[in-house]
């Protein structure tokens, strides 16, 4: 199938010579034809598979019908009306309500001969040209039209159990997704919708909200736009309340939803959940679809567990350095016995100088009277209270049994001698429940590498009340974003603080949570854009979770991408040498080079070694660009 499509696409430019380094822009008709071919169901597949593909990708008929709206309407017939309304909007600084009135009047003047969404697109295109000397490219117009036509009202969705309002579109890098999203948002607001835009990080949300082209276009239509990546809840509340279009990363949206729902903070509750637009939709909806945001709950008494955390860290640290394995039952029992008073069942005959049967009988007596539990943990840890307990029950037992009681009390100090310290009684159940997880996380912290999964750094200070001190800052491996407000749970964060000699913070518990899938499905309409939607299997997963069809949009220009052969080296130094030689070769041709690494640590290593190679092999003038 890929071969047949590639052959057909190449056939669009028969005999046309494409010069190296030149950019060949496709005409609207070429883009339209490509779009039809790329979304066409192949004839070589089974009928039931074809039905499934049509369900996921949209039928060829649906794609053709949408694209026909551009070619079947002679825009020149309505040019006068479009020009008139575009001039008014571009130069008269109207409110959003006035813009809506003028556009609706323009549609009415055109009559039934024009599709309203095509009219909206042409109006925005004209305004963009008049105010910024830019025009929407054919691919951008088609992407916007597919998006608008995928909207279903709540009534029509209710009549179709499988229906979901929205669409997912694959749009190549550099095709202007930011502008496409802005145009879709403008037209949606003109149709009286509230728009929420989700990006993969707060950095992108802030960037896109203040993108020069988009911001000016929003302002021209009287549309108020902002982001929700503020620390102040009051500021976020104002953004939700007053803005037509809101940008933000998924974490900030989810946090405000959870605090509103469970803590009644009323930050975002006044905003209707209407349309949500997702940039890099494959990452948010599929790759991280099952990711869950937890709001932690700090408990003041958890500070009393600091000594426990230090104790566990010391034992695990020492055990690993001596070559021991932490996941064994023997190590768990050893550590547990150092924290909780454990009844020495196996050693009891030797300690009390009694027979095996007498030891078994004595243990049953302790169990019956709730002096120990089924896990051999001693429940009465104070010697005076234990003596009182024995006095109250000894009348029920024989002289031999009561003598064992007395002997046990004499040996009690020896039994309790290995305990590191008393835990607060009300925290013991919590520690018992999570002790194995604490041990596992202590080992993970021991083996984690700084500048890979996390960094030790002074975070960006946003208020005067914040401490200026080094902290453990989590790094999102997928995006490279520093998650300053996120902490690992079950002691992992605290063990890393001990590892690097930082101030120990209190443990926290998970209070409320929501997954990405659950949150996104709370919106009746989802529009998604991505550079790649993946294979048919991945599209099926997206359809399974969100009931959204997928469409592939062709690129505006003919691509001249060339993938060079991969290079595998025997040593790490040889790898740095290959990178250095490649960078030098490209720069000699006047080209810039972007080096992408797996972690901050790897970036630092590559940077250090390339600079060293430049110093040893290049003249002072040549090495300037390497050492800046």
> What CATH number corresponds to the domain at position 484?
3.90.1440
| Predicted pLDDT of residue 240 | 96
Q: What is the mean pLDDT of the chain?
A: 82
| CA neighbor of 193 nearest in space, from 165, 212, 169 | 165
Tell me which of 451, 474, 506 is where a domain ends: 506
| CA neighbor of 284 nearest in space, from 262, 245, 254 | 254
pLDDT tens digits for range 431-456: 888 899 999 999 999 999 998 889 99
Provide the b/e sequence for 478-500 (b: ≥16 CB within 10 Å): ebebbeeeebbbbbbbbbbbbbe
pLDDT greater than 80 at residue 270: yes
Query: Do 57 and 152 share a domain, yes or no?
Result: yes
| Predicted pLDDT of residue 12 | 47
Lowest-pLDDT range of 307-316, 395-404, 531-540, 555-564: 395-404
Tokens 């679809």 correspond to 289
Look at residue 439 and give its three-state secondary structure.
helix
What's the rounded mean pLDDT across residues 62-69? 76
Can you tell me the distance from the alpha carbon of 441 to that of 354, in angstroms, rounded to the nearest whole number?
A: 41
Query: Do 35 and 62 share a domain, yes or no?
Result: yes
Query: Do 400 and 476 share a domain, yes or no?
Result: no
Cβ–Cβ < 8 Å for 199, 247 = yes
**Phi, psi angle pair for 100, to nearest 5°:** -60, -45
What's the rounded mean pLDDT across residues 530-556? 81
Beta partners for residue 457, in sequence order? 471
Number of domains present in the structure of the chain: 4
Query: Do 438 and 484 share a domain, yes or no?
Result: yes
pLDDT greater than 80 at residue 616: yes
| Predicted pLDDT of residue 42 | 41
The percentage of the chain sitting over the pLDDT mark of 90, rounded to a whole number, equals 32
| Residue 108 placed within a domain | no
What is the value of pTM for the model shown? 0.74
pLDDT greater than 70 at residue 234: yes
| Residue 92 placed within a domain | no
Alpha-carbon torsion angle 68, 72, 75, 81, nearest 10: -100
Angle between helices 96-110 and 79-91 (to 10 degrees): 170
| CA neighbor of 78 nearest in space, from 110, 35, 36, 117 | 110
- Of the pLDDT bands very low, low, confident and very high (cuts 50, 70, 90), residue 301 is confident
pLDDT greater than 60 at residue 54: no
Query: Do 360 and 429 share a domain, yes or no?
Result: no
pLDDT greater than 90 at residue 284: no
Query: Do 331 and 442 share a domain, yes or no?
Result: yes
Look at residue 297 and give its three-state secondary structure.
strand
| Predicted pLDDT of residue 10 | 45
Cβ–Cβ < 8 Å for 415, 341 = yes
| Residue 498 placed within a domain | yes
Which distant-in-sequence residues (6+ apart) come within 8 Å of 121 by Cβ?
136, 141, 144, 145, 183, 187
- The residue that leads in pLDDT, 606 or 415, is 606
| Predicted pLDDT of residue 3 | 40
| Predicted pLDDT of residue 143 | 92
Tell me which of 468, 486, 506 is where a domain ends: 506
**Is residue 355 packed enough to be buried (19+ CB in 10 Å), middle (13-18) or exposed (0-12)?**
exposed
Look at residue 292 and give its three-state secondary structure.
strand
| Residue 165 placed within a domain | yes
| Predicted pLDDT of residue 444 | 94
- Of the pLDDT bands very low, low, confident and very high (cuts 50, 70, 90), residue 420 is low
Query: Do 198 and 243 share a domain, yes or no?
Result: yes
Q: How far is CA 51 from CA 54, 60, 61, 553, 586, in A?
A: 5, 12, 13, 21, 48
| Residue 93 placed within a domain | no
- Of the pLDDT bands very low, low, confident and very high (cuts 50, 70, 90), residue 99 is very high
Q: How far is CA 24 from CA 7, 18, 143, in A?
A: 18, 7, 20
| Residue 412 placed within a domain | no
- What Rg, from alpha-carbon coordinates, does the chain have? 33
What's the rounded mean pLDDT across residues 296-317? 84
| Predicted pLDDT of residue 57 | 56
Look at residue 481 and give its three-state secondary structure.
coil
Tell me which of 356, 378, 405 is where a domain ends: 405
Query: Do 452 and 549 share a domain, yes or no?
Result: no
Full residue range of the structural domain in which residue 622 is found: 572-627
| Predicted pLDDT of residue 580 | 92
- 543 CB neighbour count, 10 Å cutoff: 19
| Predicted pLDDT of residue 459 | 75
pLDDT greater than 50 at residue 544: yes
| CA neighbor of 287 nearest in space, from 250, 252, 259, 253 | 250
Alpha-carbon torsion angle 210, 214, 217, 221, nearest 10: -70
Query: Do 389 and 471 share a domain, yes or no?
Result: no
pLDDT greater than 80 at residue 310: yes
| Residue 81 placed within a domain | no
Query: Do 186 and 245 share a domain, yes or no?
Result: yes
| Predicted pLDDT of residue 282 | 65
What's the rounded mean pLDDT across residues 607-619? 89
Lowest-pLDDT range of 201-205, 269-273, 484-488: 484-488
pLDDT tens digits for range 453-488: 899 988 776 555 666 788 898 887 766 777 777 888
What's the rounded mean pLDDT across residues 156-172? 71
| Predicted pLDDT of residue 313 | 94
pLDDT greater than 80 at residue 178: yes
| Predicted pLDDT of residue 464 | 57
**The pair of three-digit structure tokens given for residue 213, joined into one six-digit string:** 């082209």
| Residue 513 placed within a domain | no
Query: Do 430 and 362 share a domain, yes or no?
Result: no
**Phi, psi angle pair for 108, to nearest 5°:** -65, -40
| CA neighbor of 137 nearest in space, from 179, 78, 103, 185 | 179
3-state helix, strand, coil in the chain (%, to 5): 55, 10, 35
- The residue that leads in pLDDT, 75 or 2, is 75
Query: Do 583 and 534 share a domain, yes or no?
Result: no
- Of the pLDDT bands very low, low, confident and very high (cuts 50, 70, 90), residue 290 is low
Cβ–Cβ < 8 Å for 616, 626 = no
């Amino acid at each position: 199938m890929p071969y047949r499509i590639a052959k057909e696409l190449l056939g669009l430019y028969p005999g046309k010579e494409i010069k190296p380094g030149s950019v060949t822009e496709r005409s609207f008709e070429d883009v339209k034809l490509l779009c039809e071919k790329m979304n066409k169901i192949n004839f070589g597949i089974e009928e039931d598979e074809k039905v499934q593909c049509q369900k996921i990708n949209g039928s060829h008929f649906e794609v053709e019908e949408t694209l026909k709206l551009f070619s079947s309407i002679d825009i020149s017939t309505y040019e006068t009306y479009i020009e008139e309304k575009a001039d008014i909007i571009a130069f008269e600084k109207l409110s959003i309500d006035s813009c809506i009135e003028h556009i609706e009047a323009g549609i009415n003047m055109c009559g039934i001969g024009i599709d309203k969404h095509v009219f909206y697109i042409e109006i925005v295109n004209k305004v963009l040209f008049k105010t910024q000397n830019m025009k929407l490219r054919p691919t951008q117009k088609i992407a916007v039209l597919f998006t608008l036509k995928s909207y279903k009202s709540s009534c029509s969705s209710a009549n179709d159990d499988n229906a979901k309002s929205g669409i997912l579109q694959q749009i190549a890098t550099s095709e202007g997704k930011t502008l496409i999203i802005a145009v879709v948002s403008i037209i949606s607001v003109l149709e009286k919708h509230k728009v929420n835009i989700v990006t993969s990080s707060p950095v992108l949300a802030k960037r896109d909200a203040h993108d020069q082209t988009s911001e000016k276009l929003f302002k021209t239509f009287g549309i108020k736009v902002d982001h929700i990546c503020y620390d102040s809840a009051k500021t976020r509340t104002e953004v939700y309340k007053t803005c037509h279009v809101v940008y933000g990363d998924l974490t900030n949206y989810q946090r405000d939803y959870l605090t509103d729902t469970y803590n009644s903070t009323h930050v975002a509750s006044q905003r209707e959940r209407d349309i949500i637009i997702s940039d890099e939709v494959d990452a948010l909806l599929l790759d991280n679809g099952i990711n869950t945001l937890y709001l932690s709950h700090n408990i003041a008494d958890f500070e009393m567990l600091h000594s426990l955390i230090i104790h566990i860290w010391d034992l695990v640290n020492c055990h690993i350095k001596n070559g021991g394995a932490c996941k064994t039952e023997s190590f768990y029992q050893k550590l547990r016995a150092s924290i909780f008073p454990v009844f020495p069942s196996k050693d009891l005959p030797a300690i009390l100088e009694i027979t095996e049967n007498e030891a078994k009988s004595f243990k049953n007596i302790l169990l019956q009277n709730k002096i120990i539990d089924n896990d051999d943990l001693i429940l009465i840890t104070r010697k005076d209270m234990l003596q009182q307990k024995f006095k109250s029950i000894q009348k029920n037992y024989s002289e031999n049994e009561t003598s064992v009681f007395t002997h046990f009390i004499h040996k009690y100090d020896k039994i309790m001698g290995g305990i590191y310290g008393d835990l607060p009684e009300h925290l013991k159940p919590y520690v018992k429940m999570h002790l194995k997880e604490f041990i596992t996380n202590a080992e993970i912290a021991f083996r984690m590498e700084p500048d890979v999964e996390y960094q030790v750094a002074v975070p960006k200070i946003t208020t005067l009340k914040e401490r200026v001190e080094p902290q453990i800052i989590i790094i999102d491996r997928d995006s490279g974003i520093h998650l300053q407000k996120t902490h690992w749970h079950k002691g992992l964060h605290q063990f890393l603080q001990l590892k690097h000699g930082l101030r120990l913070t209190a443990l926290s518990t998970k209070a409320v949570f929501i997954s990405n899938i659950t949150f996104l499905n709370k919106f009746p309409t989802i529009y998604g854009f991505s550079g790649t939607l993946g294979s048919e299997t991945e599209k099926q997963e997206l359809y399974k979770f969100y009931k959204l069809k997928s469409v592939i949009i062709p690129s505006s220009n003919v691509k001249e991408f060339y993938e060079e052969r991969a290079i595998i080296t025997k040593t790490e130094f040889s790898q740095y040498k290959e990178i250095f030689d490649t960078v030098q070769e490209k720069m000699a041709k006047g080209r810039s080079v972007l080096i992408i690494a797996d972690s901050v640590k790897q970036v630092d290593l590559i940077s250090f070694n390339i600079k060293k190679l430049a110093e040893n092999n290049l003249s002072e003038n040549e090495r300037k660009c390497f050492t800046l």
